[in-house]
C-alpha cells in the first residue's frame, strides 16, 4: 500500500500515441524475435498538466494475450472512457473506475502510469516517493536474447560485464539450455547468471531442468506454462535452482496461490503484467511478508516506462538486480533528453523529479511517432 495522499485531478483529454524505435540488436526469446520496440504511449491532460504512460504490450501475443492493437482498443473503448470528463479523483480512485474491465492488465497499467505521473507533477512528488521507494540507485542486470551461437552469447556477456552489469539473464529454450549453462559457467564461473525460458518447457522436462542444478544459477524464470502454478510447484520440489515466476503471476491472487503452493521462490514484478504500479506495490508487500525476494522485470521499455521501472525497483523488497538496463542496451536514441546511462558500478539512478521525473525529447518523439489519436 502506498502511504502518501495524492491530489484529486480531472482527466479532460487523453491521447494514444504509437512510437517505433529500432532496437540496437534483435531480441530473441523462446516465443519470437523483435527488431523494434513499437510502444503505445498514453497521454492524459488535466489541471494544466500532462501525464505520460507507456504500455508494456508487444506487437504479437507471444508473451501475453495483450498486444499493441488489443491495448489500444481496450484503452480507447473502455479504460479511458471510464475516467474522461468525470469528477476529479486520485489515481487509485481513477483506476477503481475501470476495475470492472476484466483482464487487459497492460492497458490498465499504461493509463495508471499516466495518472501517477500527472499526480506526482501536481504534488511535487517523484514516482519513487509516491510508491515508497527507499533507494536512490538501482543495481542493474541485463537480459540477453537467444544468440545465433554459444560463442556469440559469450561475447555478448563479456561486453555487458565490461559495461558494469551486475547480473546476466539468458533466454533459453529446450536444446539451448544445458550446453549454454555449461559454456557460460566455464567462462564465467562466479558471475551471477540466470535463465529465462518464457514457458518453453513442460513438467516432462523436469529431469533436464534438474541437470541445471550443477551450474549454480541464481534462478530459472518461468520454465513452464504461462498460466500454470501447479506444475511449477511440482518442478520446484524436484530441483534446487530457485524457480522465479513471471508470466504466471498477473495479480495478488495469483501470487498468494503461488506462495501457498510453493510454485517458486522468487518473483519478477512487471507493473504492466499486474495492471499497474499500485497493484505491483501490493504484490511487493505480500512477497516481503512471504520472504520471496523480488526484482523488476522489463518489456524493452523506452525511457518513459524505464523511469517507472526504476521508481518501482527502489522499493525495499527489490533485493535482486533486475532487467532495468540502460537506454543504450536497447536504443541508439531513447525518447529522453537525458538517456539512462549505466554508472561504472552497474547502477542506474532513480529519477527524483516530480512524477516520472524525465524530460521527453519532443523533436525526436515527433520523428518516431507513427500514430497519434485523440480519445473521446
* Strand, coil or helix: 203: helix
41 Cβ contact list (under 8 Å, min separation 6): 16, 17, 18, 19, 52, 53, 54, 55, 110, 302, 304
| 3-state helix vs strand vs coil in the chain, percent to 5 | 35, 25, 40
Contact residue for ligand OSB among 30, 94, 143, 347 (CB under 6 A) = 143
**Binding of Mg ion at residue 246 (CB under 5 A)?**
yes
Could you give the CA distance from residue 46 to residue 31 in angstroms, rounded to a whole number? 40
Determine the interface stretch with ligand OSB among 236-244, 252-260, 296-304, 365-373 (rule: CB under 6 A): 296-304
CA distances from 220 to 115, 168, 215 (A): 34, 12, 11
Task: Measure the CA–CA gap between 47 and 115, rounded to whole angstroms.
Answer: 12
Binder of residue 126, out of ligand OSB, Mg ion, none (CB less than 5 to 8 A by kind) = none
Residue 269 Cβ, how far from Mg ion at the closest point, in Å? Answer: 11
Q: Which of 108, 169, 171, 173 is flagged as catalytic?
A: 171
Name the residue nearer to ligand OSB (CB basis): 167 or 284.
167
Is residue 196 near ligand OSB by the rule CB under 6 A?
yes
Cα–Cα distance list, 43 to 5, 8, 27 (Å):
22, 17, 28
The Cα 134–Cα 167 span in angstroms is 21
**Of 99-107, 292-300, 342-350, 366-374, which part binds ligand OSB (CB under 6 A)?**
292-300
Q: Looking at 149-157, 205-213, 291-299, 362-370, which segment touches ligand OSB (CB under 6 A)? A: 291-299
248 vs 325 by CB, closer to ligand OSB: 325
- Which chain residues interact with Mg ion by CB under 5 A? 196, 221, 246
Positions annotated as catalytic residues are: 171, 270
Residues that bind ligand OSB (CB under 6 A): 63, 143, 196, 198, 246, 297-300, 323, 325
Amino acid at each position: 500500500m502506498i502511504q502518501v495522499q495524492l491530489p484529486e485531478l480531472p482527466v479532460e483529454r487523453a491521447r494514444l500515441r504509437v512510437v517505433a524505435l529500432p532496437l540496437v540488436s534483435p531480441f530473441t526469446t523462446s516465443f519470437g524475435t523483435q527488431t523494434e520496440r513499437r510502444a503505445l504511449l498514453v497521454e492524459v491532460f488535466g489541471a494544466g498538466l500532462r501525464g505520460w504512460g507507456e504500455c508494456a504490450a508487444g506487437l504479437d501475443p507471444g508473451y501475453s494475450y495483450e498486444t499493441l492493437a488489443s491495448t489500444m482498443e481496450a484503452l480507447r473503448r473502455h479504460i479511458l472512457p471510464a475516467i474522461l470528463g468525470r469528477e476529479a479523483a486520485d489515481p487509485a480512485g481513477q483506476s477503481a473506475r475501470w476495475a470492472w474491465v476484466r483482464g487487459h492488465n497492460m492497458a490498465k497499467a499504461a493509463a495508471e502510469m499516466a495518472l501517477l505521473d500527472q499526480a506526482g507533477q501536481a504534488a511535487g512528488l517523484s514516482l519513487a516517493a509516491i510508491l515508497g521507494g527507499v533507494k536512490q540507485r538501482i543495481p542493474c542486470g541485463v537480459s540477453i536474447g537467444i544468440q545465433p551461437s554459444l560463442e556469440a552469447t559469450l561475447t555478448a556477456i563479456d561486453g555487458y560485464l565490461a559495461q558494469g552489469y551486475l547480473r546476466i539473464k539468458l533466454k533459453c529454450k529446450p536444446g539451448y539450455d544445458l550446453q549454454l549453462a555449461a559454456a557460460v559457467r566455464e567462462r564465467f564461473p562466479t558471475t551471477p547468471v540466470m535463465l529465462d525460458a518464457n514457458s518453453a518447457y513442460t513438467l516432462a522436462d523436469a529431469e533436464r531442468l534438474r541437470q541445471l542444478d550443477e551450474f549454480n544459477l541464481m534462478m530459472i524464470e518461468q520454465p513452464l506454462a504461462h498460466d500454470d502454478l501447479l506444475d511449477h510447484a511440482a518442478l520446484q520440489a524436484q530441483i534446487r535452482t530457485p524457480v522465479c515466476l513471471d508470466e504466471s503471476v498477473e495479480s495478488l491472487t495469483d501470487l498468494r496461490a503461488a506462495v501457498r503452493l510453493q510454485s517458486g521462490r522468487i518473483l519478477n514484478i512487471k507493473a504492466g503484467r499486474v495492471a499497474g504500479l499500485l497493484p505491483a506495490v501490493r504484490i511487493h508487500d505480500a512477497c516481503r511478508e512471504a520472504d520471496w525476494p523480488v526484482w523488476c522485470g522489463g518489456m524493452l521499455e523506452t525511457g518513459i516506462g524505464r523511469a517507472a521501472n526504476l521508481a518501482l525497483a527502489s522499493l525495499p523488497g527489490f533485493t535482486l538486480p533486475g532487467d532495468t538496463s540502460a537506454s543504450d542496451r536497447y536504443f541508439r536514441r531513447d525518447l529522453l533528453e537525458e538517456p539512462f546511462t549505466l554508472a561504472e558500478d552497474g547502477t542506474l539512478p532513480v529519477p527524483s523529479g516530480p512524477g516520472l521525473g524525465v524530460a521527453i525529447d519532443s523533436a525526436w518523439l515527433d520523428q518516431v511517432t507513427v500514430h497519434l489519436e485523440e480519445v473521446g
